[in-house]
Amino acid sequence: MRNTNIRLLLISALVINVAIAAKAPQNIAEADLTSATKKDLKAEVIFQTVPEGLKITADATGLTPNSTHGFHVHKVGKCEGPDYKSAGDHFNPTNMQHGSPKSEKSHMGDMGNLVANAKGEAHMEMILKKDEAKDLKEFAGKSVVIHAKADDFKSQPAGDSGARIACGLIKFN
């Protein structure tokens, strides 16, 4: 009798847990970036689906003061330092050329530049207005990369933004 009660209790706890997991928001994903070469460099990037597209909020610290850095989603969710080549090319499911996120015809993963202030901190908010960008599941499992140099939005295939200095995986919370 007591055994049955305990079993019922366990089962109901399980059911409640499954229900909570199912209700966890799938409209927000996050990447925490670290750097193998610049120990102070850290960044948090939040991806949130909104009616207009995909809202991206990035905060970075530990950058060189007053510097500008190419900033992209890369197609492989693998951050192996120190060069992070493991992250592969830019996320480009629509087969476009590299460019500015403001252009319809750029890589899905092109997020422009992160611009650091005099303290080496960068804050960026933008909305990727691409139809395909609304499916956050496409972004989860990819990686976010910060580059050493500015993205010129012209050079192919990656905006001539130089070495990859930080990397982080995109995960649902």
Chain-centre distance for alpha carbon 165:
15
Task: Take residue 128 and report the two structure tokens written for it.
Answer: 């990727």
Minimum CB distance to Cu ion, residue 149 (Å):
11
The Cα–Cα gap between 29 and 127 comes to 14
Nearer to Cu ion, 72 or 75 (CB): 72
Name which of 121, 99, 101 is nearest 111 in CA terms: 101
CB–CB of 107/72 below 8 Å?
yes
Minimum CB distance to Zn ion, residue 133 (Å):
14
Contact stretch for Zn ion (CB under 5 A) within 16-24, 82-90, 115-123, 140-148: 82-90
The Cα–Cα gap between 63 and 61 comes to 6
Residues that bind Cu ion (CB under 5 A): 72, 145
Task: Take residue 173 and report the two structure tokens written for it.
Answer: 């919370």
Contact stretch for Zn ion (CB under 5 A) within 12-20, 29-37, 75-83, 87-95: 87-95
The residues that bridge with 72 in the sheet, in sequence order, are 110, 145
Nearer to Cu ion, 58 or 145 (CB): 145
Nearer to Cu ion, 72 or 142 (CB): 72
Residue 74 in contact with Zn ion, rule: CB under 5 A: no
The residues that bridge with 33 in the sheet, in sequence order, are 43
Which residues from 96-125 bind Zn ion, rule CB under 5 A? 98, 107, 110
Interacting partner of 146 out of Cu ion, Zn ion, none (Cβ under 5 to 8 A depending on kind): none
Kindly state the DSSP code that residue 64 receives in the 8-state scheme.
P
Residue 90 in contact with Zn ion, rule: CB under 5 A: yes
Nearer to Cu ion, 52 or 69 (CB): 69
